Amino acid sequence: MADVNAMEKKLAEYKCDTNEATCLKLVRFPDDLDDDGTTFHPEYSHQIFGDDEVAFGYKGLQIQLYYTAGNLSTLFKVKYSSKVKDTFDCVEPDDVEGKIREIIPAGFTSNTDDFISLLEKEANFKPFGTMLHSYTVHNEEAEELTYQIHKADISCPGFLEYHKRLQTFLMWFIETASFLDVDDDRWDFFLVFEKYNKDGETLYATVGYMTVYNYYVYPDKTRPRVSQMLILPPFQGEGHGAQLLEAVHRFYCGLPKVQDITAEDPSENYVKLRDYVLTKLCQNLPSFDADKLHLGFSADMIKEAQEKLKINKKHARRVYEILRLRATDMSDEEKARAYRLEVKKRLFGPYRKNQRELAKMRKCLRPEELVSHMGQLDTQTQHEELEKSYQLALEDYRRIIERLASQA
């Protein structure tokens, strides 16, 4: 037994956290290759290495996936200080290299000198498609950096190969990501690039992107649905996501055949971002004037948000609640109560649905089954959950209002 425990301890030394072991870089200059400050790590690696996010069989494992900043030409290396097979003949290590090769497209190099040669060709890389929007951001060094948002599609020369490299980042940063079948011409791609200077030349670095699928809506409309959105980690927290989403909304608002814009299985962070962007867009619409908000959510708001900004009723309702909170003196007990009841009226919708279902159940369920379902719909629990949902919404709304104020 002691021998077994000793063996397990020794083998445990050959387990590596694959989030820590995977080192990603967006390389602009040769010096970046040896600069730890340019390295970032995945949030997730379970889709490649399994739910425990562990690779077995190596000590000091380092999986290097380095990309040129613009074209995303790729350097891939696996390094380690020792391998389990060197010590234990009968134990096989995980095929780390094979797992990575499954997600990165062919054409990568494993030679650093070859990668540096590719880096020298970055001056030839130009953003794909049509530029929709340009904006500037002040960074910590008090520099004013310029960014561009482009719309591309599969007809752009070289774009499909570039997109195959770009979408590998999804596996590391979106928990349930999958690669797209981009042969369908209903896909639109929106890309964010940073302009930067290198040896007197203007180059472009990839910042992030969004994919949108255009669904058909009878009889003659389309419904663009956001599928994936990712701002790469070195650029997160700088407002690029909001710039991208706003540019995409403005683009589709200019297309008469678009009915509204939705998102596929949006994350909590995406919903917060969307709330901010849509509120920013709606706040100057006449139907959302401050003096109209206390009258309640109106048909005019629904119509104007849909016709002018392609925003559906559900999203317009959240915008109304945010703007009404901004216009409400919450220290006034009567006004605060009126606002709380207005928001809770919406939040109570799912509970009302449960009650209708319960009424139907009374007609067809046996008494013991009915008791079981009624337990799930306890009134006290409903009130507690409703209050909790209200407070969470209030917290999110206040953050959006603060952000709007800071951008004013």
Tell me which residues are annotated as active site. Answer: 264
Residue 358: enclosing H or E segment and its boundaries?
helix 349-364
28 within 8 A of 205, measured Cβ to Cβ: yes
In angstroms and rounded to an integer, the radius of gyration of the C-alpha atoms of the chain is 26
Sign of CA dihedral 345, 346, 350, 356: positive
Amino acid identity of residue 26, one-letter, is L
Q: Is residue 37 helix, strand or coil?
A: helix
Place of tokens 């719309």: 151
390: left (phi over 0), alpha (psi -120 to 50) or beta: alpha
Amino acid identity of residue 130, one-letter, is T
Residue 83: enclosing H or E segment and its boundaries?
strand 82-83
Amino acid identity of residue 297, one-letter, is F
CA distance 201 to 173: 32
Other C-beta atoms closer than 10 Å to the C-beta of 143 total 10
CA distance 76 to 276: 38
**Residues making up the chain, counted from first to last:** 408
**CA terminus-to-terminus distance, the chain:** 69
Which strands make up the sheet holding 130-138, listed edge to edge? 130-138, 144-152, 187-198, 201-217, 221-231, 262-263
Phi, psi (rounded to 5 degrees) for 79: -125, 150
Sorted by sequence, the CB contacts under 8 Å of residue 276 that are 6+ apart come out as 242, 400, 403, 404
